[in-house]
Structure 1
């Protein structure tokens, strides 16, 4: 059979090679919807300073900058959870040392899928999108996803949030000035398909939004929830924790007080990053 073409960009392959050459433990960062991999830049610097080799691939076909993403919102249109997971697994397979994996939002779901493949030494999932088996659907989640699921055109086009939609789903725990600043600096369009996949996960036995929570090679897992998150409230994350805690591996759950979905990029990002780093220091060295 012919080999499958690589989905890694030259930049992503260079990051992997740099991590391998460093001899340091890699930490792979997985971003979620409405962000690019550049949203991890401050985290990467912090983890590099702590002695790790930070690697932050994008999703397949991600534009290389926020400006390019805003110029072509449909670049995100066709993306699905399975192909994103495979993209990160391809990057991890090129690493010479088993990495820790950190993901936010849909990146937190994908991080758990990677852990379920036994490909992560230790994993942190922050405000993770729910996987099949998580049944809680709070009203705020429904409202946050409405810009996508209320329009079938979201299956064919990238979806850009208005500032008011971003403020409700992401920046509800922030003042308006910071909310505007984050919207201007980070927000890009997102693929609608993953949200439709998540919404239908418990109705579709063949869904890609499933996680192997029973794999004995899953490794230690930390789930972090934002107390004030509207997009992924604490309840679904708590349910994911209860399911994951049946694994024989270490499973922990932390709630960050008064934090919304923007907790990885807003003024309090370093507190979340330090909580993540403290967990990985226990298991990923």
Structure 2
């Protein structure tokens, strides 16, 4: 899938700037605009940023809500390939920051040698990540509860969003985030993750042993229901066998909404500090 005009312009601007680039990868139920505050922080710190969407993503939340079917059928490898196309057009290898399924995609990109340094925040599980806590099953149940959702886009109810994303927040903030950010999402990646360990050819496979993978940081939200500690830490343990720098940190009292809620800046600064330390100083 070719880059959109916006995506190409962000890549061109990053190349023209001469600054070290950072590419942001969003996950399900968000758009690339969910990274806007992060991008401002990183740009103020001297980086050039780009935030491609998933293929055929609407550009705005309003457009996304008017056309929820646009999200159906998007699979993990096709999305990964779209981001690899974007990073391949950069003149410098970027740092890559991803959240949730974006965190899984960021790891896949690292395994392809496409990232100078990687931060995966509450990453969806790849093949070989075995823990499956009850809260993760419950968070996935709005999709996995109906096999037909593998061919559909799925919109969470507020109660489902509250459990899976905003369980660490007060109701007022949870509702505000739902109203501002939440959009429909493709159901199929969740099915891909759910059966990954039964499928040796799963698109969720990460090359944990890749040479030249670069440094990687796994960030976990302590209270995340969707990607609990056990899943994030299992990914860290798989990566820790790689010769490259591998670190893990847990942000206390935070759920899956940690990239967009009131505490986003702590997570962003943690990511920025790791990139500065291991990916060069802007």
Same fold flag (TM > 0.5): yes
CA RMSD of aligned residues (A): 0.6
* Counterpart for residue 42 of structure 2: 47
Structure 2: gaps spanning 5 or more residues: none
* Counterpart for residue 142 of structure 2: 147
* CA-to-aligned-CA distance 1:12-40 (integer Å, 9 cap, x gap): 00000000000000000000000000000
Choose from 248, 254, 259 the match for 1:264. 259
* Counterpart for residue 119 of structure 2: 124
2:221 is the alignment partner of 1:205: no
* Alpha-carbon shift at residue 227 of structure 1 (Å): 0.4
Q: How does 1:1-285 map to 2 (within 5 A)?
A: 6-285=1-280
2: CA distance, partners of 1:155 / 1:194: 8
1: CA distance, partners of 2:154 / 2:114: 31
Structure 1: gaps spanning 5 or more residues: 1-5
* CA-to-aligned-CA distance 1:146-195 (integer Å, 9 cap, x gap): 00011122122210000000000000000000000000000000000000
* Alpha-carbon shift at residue 245 of structure 1 (Å): 0.3
**Secondary structure of the structure 2 residue equivalent to 1:148:** helix
1: CA distance, partners of 2:128 / 2:30: 26
1: CA distance, partners of 2:120 / 2:61: 24
**Secondary structure of the structure 1 residue equivalent to 2:9:** helix
1: CA distance, partners of 2:101 / 2:149: 17
2: CA distance, partners of 1:150 / 1:7: 33
Deviant stretches of 4+, over 3 Å? none
**Secondary structure of the structure 1 residue equivalent to 2:153:** coil
1: CA distance, partners of 2:37 / 2:276: 18
